[in-house]
Chains A and B, each alone.
Chain A
Amino acid sequence: MANKKKVFGKMEVSKNSFKTLSEPVKQFGGLVGIIILIFLTFFVLNNIFGEGDELVAKMKIEEERIAQERKLNKLISSLPSGVLVSFDGTDNFKLSDELYEAVCKATKLIPQRAIMGANFLNFRAHEIYTINGNKIDETFVKWDDEKNKCFAGFVVSGNNVGVDETIKVSGEALSFLSTGIDTRVYFIKNF
């Protein structure tokens, strides 16, 4: 009981000393208090709902990806329309090493003729491709940093004579088609 009185007494003294402060000091103290409260609220909310550093990292990756894509799109629009090759001996536009890598990274499409060409060396893939009405499960175009080469391929799957099969055909992407809007893999060397 005596302790309680002591506490209340102390609070009363603090209250009185606060009242004795000048008005600008009180306002400043209030402002600091509100700012601390806002920070604490956001801190608590961020801990409960926010993804913190993970989200920031994801956003950075996405921003970098968008910047890279813009750069590649700019480069593609500067390329001549038509066939682009990475090897000598043709009249087509020969890609420099730098352009070859850039075009590879920007390319996502593999047209039917490139798939049919690769299937010459893979009869099972051809059969499944034909049986499924030229349906492709997945296509990919990847730049290999170690080999300094562009690889492209596709996956076909289906039932062939009672057997479920999934076949991945891949090889070096050696030529591309530039339409002026996008680029497509034109030749997959899988032999």
Chain B
Amino acid sequence: MKKLIFFILFSSLITSLALARSTGCKEGNCDNGYGKWVYTDKTTYEGEWVATKKHGQGTETWPNGYIYKGQFKESQWNGIGILFFPDGSTYEGEWANGFMNGEGTFTWSDGKQKKGIWKNGSFQE
């Protein structure tokens, strides 16, 4: 019984250590500079950092296939950027506070396009 408890505790410790090693700043400087951060859900950000925040040019890749390449401000998608959806659809244009805001083009995976002004993720007719 004691051996079993010891084994469970030891396994938990090893798992925690392995998990801790696989997340966080994996490359470069994630305080001020250029670095790569890996989150626990395997989301990654590779790009510029200012005062420990994502700021400047960078690429955020979600494990389920969303990829944002473009400008960040205060860790949010802000400025000019392109979002690739998992099915191949894209939105290229202006972003504010993590949403499609401003002028941009949404292209469906079948090639259909919608170009114009977007506000908080909605196309303004």
In the complex with contacts A87-B109, A113-B43, A122-B121 CB distance below 8 A: yes
SS of B interface (majority) = loop
Contact assessment for A174 and B87 in the assembled complex, using a CB-CB cutoff below 8 Å: yes
In the complex with contacts A87-B109, A113-B66, A175-B65, A120-B100 CB distance below 8 A: yes
Tell me if A129 is interfacial: C-beta within 8 Å of chain B: no
Contact assessment for B122 and A123 in the assembled complex, using a CB-CB cutoff below 8 Å: yes
What is the size category of the interface that chain A forms with chain B?
A: 20 to 34
Chain A residue at minimal CB-CB distance from B108: A191
Contact assessment for B109 and A89 in the assembled complex, using a CB-CB cutoff below 8 Å: yes
Tell me if A177 is interfacial: C-beta within 8 Å of chain B: yes
- Complex: A114 Cα to B108 Cα, angstroms: 18
* Residue from A120, A175, A177, A186 in contact with B121 in the complex, judged by beta carbons closer than 8 Å: A120
Tell me if B124 is interfacial: C-beta within 8 Å of chain A: no
Contact assessment for B66 and A89 in the assembled complex, using a CB-CB cutoff below 8 Å: no
Tell me if B76 is interfacial: C-beta within 8 Å of chain A: no
Interface hits, A135-191 → B, CB 8 Å:
174-175, 177, 186-187, 189, 191
Chain A residue at minimal CB-CB distance from B41: A113
- Complex: A112 Cα to B62 Cα, angstroms: 11
In the complex with contacts A113-B41, A123-B121, A175-B88 CB distance below 8 A: no
* Residue from A90, A112, A191 in contact with B89 in the complex, judged by beta carbons closer than 8 Å: A191
Interface hits, A87-110 → B, CB 8 Å:
87, 89-90
Chain A residue at minimal CB-CB distance from B120: A123
Tell me if B99 is interfacial: C-beta within 8 Å of chain A: yes
- Complex: A83 Cα to B86 Cα, angstroms: 11
- Complex: A171 Cα to B106 Cα, angstroms: 18
| Whole-angstrom distance between the Cβ of A32 and the nearest chain B Cβ | 60
Residue with the highest number of chain A CB atoms closer than 10 Å, among B87, B100, B109: B87
Tell me if B82 is interfacial: C-beta within 8 Å of chain A: no
Interface of A toward B, CB cutoff 8 Å: 83, 85, 87, 89-90, 111-114, 117, 120-123, 126, 174-175, 177, 186-187, 189, 191
Interface of B toward A, CB cutoff 8 Å: 41, 43, 62-66, 83, 85-89, 99-100, 106, 108-109, 120-122
